[in-house]
Chains A and B, each alone.
Chain A
Amino acid sequence: MSSPILTNRHDFLLLFEVTNGNPNGDPDAGNLPRIDPNTNRGMVTDVCLKRKVRNFLELFPPARESEAENGYSVLIKQGAVIEREQKKAETHAAQAVPKGSADQQAEAAKNWLCREFFDMRTFGGVVSTGDGVLKGSAFGQVRGPVQFTFGQSIHAITPLEVTITRCAVTKEDDAKKERTMGNKHIVPYALYAAKGYVSPAFAERTGFTEADLDLLFQALLHMFEHDRSAARGEMVVRGLYDFEHVGTQHPNNAEQNKREARLGCAHAHVLLEGVKVALSDDARAAGKTFPESFADYAVTNTWTAENLPRGIKLDLRHAGSAIGPRQG
């Protein structure tokens, strides 16, 4: 394998904004932007973000080096039939371990799915259905090494309802009737924060490599660029703070470092809370209580090479720079 399996824990913070668009509609509320009724803060589901990553992969899949290497197909995509791929996996498993027990075959089928499909390897998935060896098998439920939280807006949002008209009609019968009116919902401006966690322990089970992680970060940085839609307005990734756990020991104690990097060297919430987002002083001075654009926010990264917890390296993926790990 050309790229090694991921060995270091990562925790990352994704900041993204929307201007005059609906980042994620709620089918249960007439496609209104998702909103937490208690705080009125906007929400974007984890699956919405994962959808964008998958779409990006579908558009720009890296070339596969060989059949034995990890592939970059996407399992969960528009029009896909999961059972079809599952059957393929079971056929491959039957060839790979013809005399294996049901469990061994199920494991082989899972390994095949993880090798072929980037999203299976990254986010996991449930393929314990159908009527083959995967049915009801523990290997049919794959937990991915990369897990997202819901994105939540920093401030309360005020969705606007915009009424629109259409000068055409759908049906011939309606040709003489009035033109139709419809409505759409937009969020004038909001900055959302989503958190992500990457576990090397799960990476070992799905074969998630260092290269896969780089690809994921690339997808996260570019996903909105290739997901333009009038309904979504303008969406921009404003920050991707990647905290990598590298170990606190001197490089000559590599074994201990490896263990520490796998386990992690600091609590994720402490690391992620070090990036502070608030209304800027200028905006406050101008009497603003909620943001109108990104310019009204001050995003402060309080981590420096001096105060970053030992064993942590902070990659500012959006800026292409890095801080740490702290020496000594």
Chain B
Amino acid sequence: MLLKHLYDFAVSRKLLDDLAFSSKAVRWIIELDRHGELVGTGPQIAGDDKRGKEFSCPQTTRPKVAGGVSEFLADGLTAVFGLDTDPDASMSESKRADRDANNLAKRTDFWAQIESARRAAPSEEIDAVAAFGSRLATQPPAFLRWGRATDGRSEKSAWWITTAGGVEIRLGPENFTFRVNGNLLLEDEALREFWRNTHAREVADAREGYRSGLCLVTGSHNQKLAPTHNPKIQGVPNTQSFGAAIVSFDKPAFGSYGFDQSLNSPTSDEAATAYCVALNHLIQRNDHSVRIGQTCLCFWAAHTPIEQTPFAFLNRPDPKAVRDFIRAPFAGIERELVLRDRFFAVTLAGNSGRIVVRHWLQATVEQAIENLQHWFADLAIDVPPRPPRKTKPGGKEKDFHPLSIYWLACTTVREAKDLPADVPAQLYRAALEGTAPSVALLKPILDQLHSRLLRDENYQLVFDESRFALLKLILNRQPDRPMEIKTSVTADTDDAAYNCGRLLAILAATQDKAHEFKLEGPGVAERYFGTAGVSPASVFPLLLRLNRHHLNKISKSERFGGHEHFIQQQIEAVLALFKPPQPGRPPAFPRTLDLQSQGRFALGFYQQSAADAAARQTNKKDAEPAAAAS
């Protein structure tokens, strides 16, 4: 099923139209005149990158494993010049002879292809290249030298290349190509057409030898079945750089009924190529995939281009876009189309030679968009206007999106490098599938909050949007939640944990005010947050007693005298919400709070602090640096 959807994707996005070419880095351009003579002292460097510049290069489908096969027009040292990458490598004589023969075969193959191109699409340029090639047969080019560095810095021998500018540079595993009369042969339309035909013939020739049968992906009969599925899929973590396969049967033990390799899951060569190309395409595109720890998540819609869906901003949700999206999730989207369209997400992980499908989601695009809307709605929490910050932990200002999965996940750890892969994976599922993240995440989030309150001098609680947004989401998604957390402070809930948090925030603010916002060292919030959030009954009576001194001080303050009445009312309003254990008895604080209650306590504390901070910001007369309040 997954392969069929990938096949459909490749077909609908027309990814199969130009399989004869693929993007490849070429570093060296050999500049020739029309007689095939080298212009300058050596090849020219393409691009600034060490690997060179990306060009659309011909790509052969002939199997290269056995050796002796070169790419057309652009390839490396051995193919173009027949030279060994390490002529001094120690090996047995027979092995050396094999290698030399292979090098020669590779070079012959390279120039044979040039020769057939010359016959099929004659031009002055290809003649010049062929002339250059025929001279190479008698002697290697002067711009290549095998030996030690001239500056004596390295003892090891290597290939050195003299550039067009006359400078000698160490040669890496880099590709060469040709330019004649200022025309890059890779871009010559006649040669490209020649290659398209050659490629088509290669594919047809290869399929000639394949068995025919039913293709499980397309359901068509009498298809040429691929013995192995190519191209390999590249870019999945924990696989080798040349790629890996999703479907492969490399050992007899994996086969059944005597079938060989991929004939065990018969797939037409065309369909296999299509799904592999589709997957490679998805992995390469930033808006289609995201790397999460040791896994890679790819997502796409069957018909709607990803740019027209809101999924692209999952990783960098800027506040305005999120607000607009929550209000009108289907803005700019054709609702009718989306209703029928389907959304897919697949999580891939590597297992050396093979790719593992960890998780697979299939939903209507409408459902996925709604899930995403719920995700952001559940995350929404009011944060006081934030003064511009100069530096961000581990990123630039524009990269900081408090509601991005990365920043949300980071609230569970001290440093981003400690982040286990399953946390972001869980959050992605929550975002796309609407699941509830595990309550087990609450503990690290709260532990980190506690530790930051105590130890991080620069920590600004009221601006820690990621942490409290995620707390709110986790708590609100629990099926047995006693109260729903709103985006701003809830003044009329009778949830004791939430109200204890609010009470602590008020008491901390009172202390700050009593010290005219100049309190140094840990205050009530820092000193009591831990115990107040776990066993409120053991500290709140004491804190309320201490609070009388703060109120007394405020009443005598020149600046804030009179505010104590308002604070007193505020405290009484919260206290009135606590229910007595038995009718007629005084209200009591809970003795202990469980994990979810501790989360509500933290949110109560945050939302009350944030509301107070916002009120202070609007009330200019009362305005104080936000840092003092947190």
Contact = CB atoms under 8 A, between A and B. Distances in A.
Interface of A: 26-30, 32, 35, 37-38, 161, 181, 183
Contact of A37 (B527, B529, B535, B549): B535
Given A37-B592, A161-B545, A181-B549, A29 B528 contact: yes
A32 B545 contact: no
A35 B531 CA distance: 10
Given A161-B545, A181-B549, A183-B546, A29 B538 contact: yes
B592 A32 contact: no
Which one of A30, A161, A181, A183 has the greatest number of beta carbons of chain B within 10 Å?
Answer: A30
B539 A30 contact: yes
Interface in B536-594: 537-539, 542, 545-546, 549, 591-592
Interface string B431-471: 00000000000000000000000000000000000000000
Given A37-B534, A181-B549, A183-B546, A32 B591 contact: no
Nearest to A29: B531
Nearest to A39: B591
A26 B592 contact: no
B530 interface: yes
Contacts of A29: 527-528, 530-532, 538-539
Contacts of A38: 591-592
A180 to B, nearest CB: 11
Report whether over half of chain B's contact residues are helix, strand or loop; otherwise say mixed. Answer: helix
B546 A32 contact: no
Given A38-B592, A183-B546, A30 B538 contact: no
Contacts of B528: 28-30
Contact of B538 (A35, A161, A181, A183): A35
Across the A-B interface, the 5 shortest Cβ-Cβ residue pairs = A37-B535, A28-B530, A29-B531, A30-B527, A37-B592
Contacts of A32: 531, 538-539, 542
Given A37-B538, A161-B545, A28 B531 contact: yes
A28 B530 CA distance: 6
A35 B535 CA distance: 10
Interface in B126-170: none
Interface of B: 524, 527-532, 534-535, 537-539, 542, 545-546, 549, 591-592
5 contacts: A28-B527, A28-B530, A28-B531, A38-B592, A161-B545
A179 B529 CA distance: 28
Nearest to A183: B546
B131 to A, nearest CB: 62
A183 B542 CA distance: 11
B183 to A, nearest CB: 59
Contacts of B530: 28-29
A28 B531 CA distance: 6
A50 to B, nearest CB: 22
Given A26-B531, A32-B539, 9 more contacts: A28-B531, A29-B527, A29-B528, A29-B530, A29-B539, A32-B531, A37-B592, A181-B549, A183-B546
A302 to B, nearest CB: 34
Contacts of B591: 37-38
A152 B537 CA distance: 20
Nearest to B530: A28
Given A29-B528, A29-B530, A181-B549, A37 B542 contact: no
B516 to A, nearest CB: 13
B544 to A, nearest CB: 12
A26 B546 CA distance: 17
B528 to A, nearest CB: 6
Which one of B527, B529, B530 has the greatest number of beta carbons of chain A within 10 Å?
Answer: B527
A28 B524 CA distance: 10
Contact of B537 (A27, A30, A37, A161): A37
A30 B529 CA distance: 10
A290 B529 CA distance: 30
Contacts of A28: 527-531
A27 B528 CA distance: 8
A104 B534 CA distance: 46
A307 to B, nearest CB: 40
Contacts of A27: 527
A28 B528 CA distance: 6
A37 B537 CA distance: 8
Contacts of B532: 29
Which one of B529, B530, B531, B549 has the greatest number of beta carbons of chain A within 10 Å?
Answer: B531
Nearest to B545: A161
Nearest to B534: A37
Which one of B532, B542, B549, B591 has the greatest number of beta carbons of chain A within 10 Å?
Answer: B542
Contacts of B531: 26, 28-29, 32
A161 B591 CA distance: 19
